[in-house]
Amino acid sequence: MSLVSRPLTCAAALLAALLGALPLAAQGDPSFWRNQPPEQPAAVVVRNATIWTSGPAGRLEGADLLVRSGRIVEVGPGLEAPTGALEIDATGKHVTPGLVDAHNHSAITGGVNEGTDIVTAEVRIADVIDSRSINLYWQLAGGLTTANLLHGSANAIGGQSAVIKLRWGGTPEELLMREAPQAIKFALGENPKQSNWNVDERRYPQTRMGVEQVIRAEFQAALDYRREWQEHRSGRSRDRVPLRRDLRLEAVVEILEGKRDVHSHSYRADEILMLMRVAEDHGFRVKCFQHVLEGYKVADELAAHGAGASTFSDWWAYKYEVIDAIPYNGALMAERGVLVSFNSDDSELARRMNLEAAKAVRYGGLSETAALELVTINPARQIGAGEWIGSLEPGKHADFVVWSGSPLSTYSIVEQTWIDGRRYFDRAHDLEYRQVVAAERAALLAKVRASKEPPPGEEGEDDEEAGAGTGEQPAEAPAEPPAEEPEPEEPQEPPAATRPAARRLP
Amino acid sequence: MKGWIAAAALAVCAAPAAAGPPQVHALTGVRIVTAPGQVVESGTVVLRDGVIEAAGAAVEPPADARLWDREGLTVYAGLIEPYSVRALPEAGDGEPPQAGHPSALVRPETDVTAWAAKADSFRKLREAGFTTAVVAPAGGLFRGRGVLMNLGDGPAGDNLLRRDVAQYASFDSAAFQGGYPSSLMGAVALFRQALLDAAWYQTAQAAWSANPAQPRPAQSTALAALAGVAAGRQPLVIESGDLLGSLRIAGLANELSLDVWLVGNGEEYQTLEPIAAAGLPHLLPVAFPKEPKAPEPDDLQTGLSELRHWDEAPANPARLIGAGVRVALTAHGLPEPKQLHPNLARAIEAGLTAEQALAALTTVPAAMLGIADRAGTVEPGKMANLVVVDGELFTKDAKLREVWIDGRRFELKESKPPEVEPAGTWELVVEAGEGQRIPITLTLAGAAPSLTGSVSAQGQVIELASAEVSGAEVEVSFDGAGFGMPGTISFTLEIAGDTAEGSGMSPSGPFTLSGTRTATPEDAS
């Protein structure tokens, strides 16, 4: 409170004078969604930090990080920087790769689930990215730079996912990480079989057996579809009625052809084994199991199949199929050679992924660097982007975070977050700018009051509904997006903005 | 149903010329804004048989013209409303049309022509200076085809300018009906698939026509109706909803090579660059956010984004036009069309020029709708569609005096405080010429100035579209379709105690009526 109320009378007056002249009062406010991207300095050098590379070099003390044109050039001690390079003194500070969340539902508008049909492979998260969501800025402030935006888990084959970089201020298109491969969400168990839904009309399937058969049947339909097209293309007769394109089946064909990775919501060992068998029967591999809370029971099978496992640090007991979850799951799977990450599945948790990683030191005794890799290079590889992000190595995107201390400490905070060699979050600038924002706010409130001066004999009209603002949060702050699950009680939900924050039910 | 209107129709057919007012008019001594930025300080406008014959300083009124002294007033081309949305008359019917699309959200074959003419809506548009409008269907993802009409009374056919001007669409989730889709991304997927299907449909039908010795592809009225849109030949007007919607739709237009017109959302100023780069024409509402609640200096309840938007939104039209976007303005989204003028006054205060505003309501929509050769300016050869103003358009105190539509004058009365309470049952006799006398019963309920009620004749009962009291008069309108006469029937009654007399207009022509009140609401209770 005291931060915003004290010394600002002067600034308010100044800003009031400026308001008319500024083309856009919000320009410059780091928390305003639509800004020009931060400039990309030709070269940046971070000096004398503890650098967690999440790469073969491990953790380096007193090291420098050199960036040119948005790419990492070198990591090591005493680097020579080109003249004019932006120097950041990071003495006593820690630098990590930008954090990566392999399972995120923030910044999706108009519903996270197309939960109607059991297969909705044609729907695309990329069509509905909410680049205005203030979650993006808040997660940036927690060091997150890349998020795998996934469809929900209401149906066996959900929708196509989208990997975004948190290029706050950009349009939805500008957020997309073009290098990442195409992917799709599957879901197994209680959600697709509607165990916890109160629905008027039940949907096939209602059992785990049925979920498997739905997936197999869809693959068969896709194979038939592909064969029809192959025959059609090879046919030469004139005036033949052409085949109709089916976007749902086309997406499933892409899975079978290895052009679309599968990320599958899963909990129990049996369903994990089931999907691996179905995939192997169809000649592909599941890229990554999500949640996978019984993964520790089938860690060897996961490793042999080559599937990644993106799990929770310590969520369990929120429904029957997760009763066997344990916080050692991540460490146990990692020990058996599974590529493991921790994910958020939650807009709030995604602001502190570093602390999720730290729990793997406490539960299971992973080394500190291996623990951090659960939220850097491992999820980057799981989403097929390990070639470009997830570690601080020459040639990779300059996505990095400057921390006040060890990233595994609850006392550490993010000071700067960089993406593509651009400083998207700077805590010092944010704190400083709050005064300007407070002044702007005061000036606007004064303007509202002035416009309400009622003409003689007339009462200013007031609307009860107006003014349902978002408190002090500055920019567009929609209601917290729903957690991944369809609300079991009410599968056909109103749009996210109109309902209370969803229960967290991973 | 047939009785009195059929009789009226006969009467009008028998003597078409005698019924109407004089067909030649001259507005004299009037300031003429012939086109945006072009003004004749004092001149004459001559209207003959629904067409502008002459307009200018040196024009002499012809000898056969009825003269209207309009000194001190200004005449503009009638405004064009590009987006007047009309709900289907019987929503929620539920039965899918035969040979239509399996999704109830995809009804592109819907043709709004059959119920486009609506008296109270047309009257309200006229009160805002509009003389021409596109009426577009409401509800659904693909909503159907719009119709371009003049806003006169009388038969819908006389007002109709062009059917099927565009296809209309929206991703508004309010239309979702349970089942697929339930999400925005599902709606986008359905949109994409439907347009792919429409393109496929054309080639499939053509291939089968050329070679019927193969399985016959199913017919679909819906896919056939989308052919022009899918081929990029017909404009697809899409409600953007918000800024993300604008960007999303621009991406779809590019991906599917569509000719899209966006219905704007008022937030465009926040990210002009990609919107201007997309180059989609806009039908831009002049609706601005409500003033935030009266805040205390230390108020923390009102969001900063809300405050900023309230402050900047009036500049949106100027910014969007300034960025090079083709903009036609619309009163869509306003509580009443006439709110357009005070709102435009705010937009002008925030940087829009009056010329830009006028162009965006006349020449720009005329060009977009393909009627630039007959509408949008006060020039010889154009439709006699005018708006006459005491003062300037788009000012807070502009007094719109009259509009002319196809050379017919519509006086814009400022509604006076009600002096009568006409609720009750009225037994009236309609005289429609040639001695035809048809008894009708008018039932009015509620209190002035706005009542509800019905009119019945020969066993048919029709609900009133509107019944508005002004001074000692009540103006009543309803849809004549129930009497077998699609179009608007309206009349005005002057009330004196329990007696009433007045005149009106039906799709068949004018009529007079008179009668008495036989019961009041108190009698009933």
The answer to whether the CB atoms of A132 and B244 lie below 8 A apart is yes
Range of lowest pLDDT (A269-273, A345-349, B158-162, B302-306):
B302-306
Q: Mean pLDDT over all residues of chain B?
A: 90
DSSP string, B451-489: EEEEEEETTEEEEEEEEEEETTEEEEEEEGGGGT--BEE
A59: closest CA among A416, A408, A420? A408
- B178/A492 touch (CB, cutoff 8 Å), yes or no: yes
Least confident stretch, A77-81, B110-114, B225-229, B479-483: B479-483
Q: Is the pLDDT of residue A109 over 80?
A: yes
Interface of A with B in 431-460 (CB under 8 A): 437, 440-442, 444-449, 451-452, 460
Chain A residues 242-301 within an 8 A CB cutoff of chain B: 242, 244-247
| A281: number of Cβ within 10 Å | 10
Q: Any residues with CB less than 8 A from the CB of B496 and at least 6 apart, and which?
A: B472
Provide, rounded to the nearest whole percent, the portion of chain B with pLDDT above 90. 72
* CB contacts, 8 Å: A115 with chain B: 182-183
pLDDT (tens digit, 9 = 90+) per residue, B311-328?
999 999 999 999 999 999
Identify the residue among A4, A29, A437, A476 best suited for mutation to test binding to B, counting B beta carbons within 10 A and taking the highest.
A476
**Min Cα separation B211/chain A (Å):** 6
A117-132: average pLDDT:
97
Confidence (pLDDT) at B94: 59
Pick from A414-423, A471-480, B254-263, B457-466: least confident: A471-480
Residue numbers of B between 51 and 80 with CB closer than 8 Å to A: none
Residue A491 has pLDDT above 50, yes or no: no
pLDDT digits (tens, 9 = 90+) for B118-155: 888 999 999 999 999 999 999 999 999 999 999 998 78
Contacts with A447 from chain B: Cβ below 8 Å: 311
Q: Is the pLDDT of residue A114 over 70?
A: yes
Closest to A155 (Cα-Cα) out of B312, B185, B147: B185
More reliable by pLDDT, B185 or A475: B185
Residue in A with minimal Cα distance to B300:
A471
Cβ proximity of B460 and B483 under 8 Å: yes
**SS3 labels along A316-366:** CCCCHHHCCCCCCHHHHHHHCCCCEEECCCCCCHHHCHHHHHHHHHHCCCC
Packing angle, helices B354-361 and B340-349, rounded to 10: 140
B183/A462 touch (CB, cutoff 8 Å), yes or no: no
Max intra-chain CA distance, chain B: 79
- Strands B51-56 and A288-291 turn out to be unpaired
Of residues A273 and A455, the one with the higher pLDDT is A273
Mean pLDDT over residues B358-370, rounded? Answer: 98
Question: What is the band of B433 on the pLDDT scale with cuts at 50, 70, 90?
Answer: confident
Rounded alpha-carbon distances, angstroms, from residue B64 to A289, A466, B47, B60, B383: 87, 58, 11, 12, 19
The pLDDT assigned to B241 comes to 96
Task: Inspect the interface and report whether the beta carbons of B247 and A26 lie closer than 8 Å.
Answer: no
**Residues A492, B188: C-beta atoms closer than 8 Å:** no
Chain A 17-46, CB below 8 Å of chain B: which residues?
A: 19, 24-26, 34
Cβ of residue B90 closer than 8 Å to a chain A Cβ: no
Q: What backbone torsions phi and psi does residue B266 show, to the nearest 5 degrees?
A: 90, -10
- Give residue B132's identity as a one-letter amino acid code: T
Tell me: pLDDT of A15 over 50: no
> Which residue, chain included where needed, has tokens 């924050």?
A501
Task: Indicate left, alpha or beta for B370 from its phi (over 0: left) and psi (-120 to 50: alpha).
Answer: left
Give pLDDT tens digits for B68-105: 999 999 999 999 999 999 988 765 555 677 899 999 99
Q: Mean of the pLDDT values across residues B482-502? A: 85
Q: What is residue A6's predicted lDDT score, i.e. its pLDDT?
A: 32
| Percentage helix, strand, coil for chain A under 3-state DSSP, each rounded to 5 | 30, 20, 50
Distance CA A86, CA A158 (A): 45
Task: List chain B residues with CB under 8 Å of A441.
Answer: 304, 307
Three-class secondary structure of residue B330 per DSSP: strand
Asked whether residue A450 carries a pLDDT value surpassing 50, the answer given is yes
Whole-number Å distance between alpha carbons of B231 and B259:
9
- Nearest beta carbon to residue B299 from set A34, A242, A445: A445
Give the model confidence (pLDDT) of B393-418 as tens digits: 998 888 999 999 999 999 997 777 88
Q: Is A158 helix (H, G, I), strand (E, B) or coil?
A: strand
Q: Is the pLDDT of residue A310 over 70?
A: yes
Chain B hits for A451, Cβ within 8 Å: 291
Which residues 379-418 of B have a C-beta within 8 angstroms of A? Answer: none
Section A36-58 average pLDDT: 96
Q: Which of B304, B349, B396 to mutate to test the interface with A (most CBs of A within 10 A)?
A: B304
Partner residue facing B307 (CB), from A171, A239, A445: A445
Q: What share of chain B is helix, strand, coil (3-state, %, to 5)?
A: 30, 35, 35
**Chain B partners of A467 at a C-beta cutoff of 8 Å?**
292-293, 295, 301-302, 306
Query: What sign has the CA pseudo-torsion A421, A426, A429, A430?
Result: positive
**Which of A441, A461, A487 should one mutate to test binding to chain B, selecting the residue with the greatest count of B CBs within 10 A?**
A441
CA distance to partner chain B, nearest, from residue A300 (Å): 37
Prediction ipTM score: 0.87
Residue B332 has pLDDT above 50, yes or no: yes
Whether B295 and A474 lie within 8 Å, measured CB to CB:
no
Tokens coding B82: 């590009």
Say if residue B329's pLDDT is above 90. Answer: yes
By DSSP bridging, strand B236-239 and strand A144-149 are unpaired
At B75 the pLDDT is 98
Asked if the model's pLDDT at residue B369 lies above 80, the reply is yes
User: Which residue is listed with tokens 């009654």?
Assistant: B493
Chain A hits for B271, Cβ within 8 Å:
34, 171
Token digits of residue A284:
């592909």
Percent residues over pLDDT 70 in chain A: 83
Residue of chain B nearest A126, judged by CA positions: B185
B6 has a pLDDT exceeding 50? no
Facing A467 at nearest CB: one of B196, B210, B292: B292
**Cβ contact A307:A289 at 8 Å:** yes
Residue B504 is predicted with a pLDDT of 85
**Which residues contact residue B216 at a Cβ distance below 8 angstroms, ignoring those fewer than 6 apart?**
B208
Residue B212 has pLDDT above 50, yes or no: yes
> In the predicted model, is pLDDT for residue B11 greater than 80?
no
> How does pLDDT run across A156-202, given as a tens digit for each residue?
999 999 999 999 999 999 999 999 999 999 999 999 999 988 777 88
A300 falls in which pLDDT band (50, 70, 90)? very high
Q: Write out residues 189-248 of B within 8 Å (CB-CB) of A.
A: 189, 192-193, 196-197, 200, 203-204, 207-208, 210-211, 214-215, 217, 243-244, 247-248
Q: Largest Cα–Cα distance in chain A?
A: 83
Contact B185 A242 (CB under 8 A): no
CB contacts < 8 A, A to B, total 184
- Write down the mean pLDDT value for chain A: 86
- Measured between beta carbons, the chain A residues lying within 8 angstroms of B214 are 240-241
Q: What is the predicted pLDDT for the residue at A327?
A: 96
Question: Which of A445, A451, A461, A499 is the mutation pick for testing B, counting most B CBs within 10 A?
Answer: A445
Which A residues 316-375 touch B at CB under 8 Å? none
Best residue in A5, A128, A157 to probe B by mutation, most B CBs within 10 Å?
Answer: A128
Q: How many Å apart are CA A465 and CA B291, to the nearest integer? A: 11
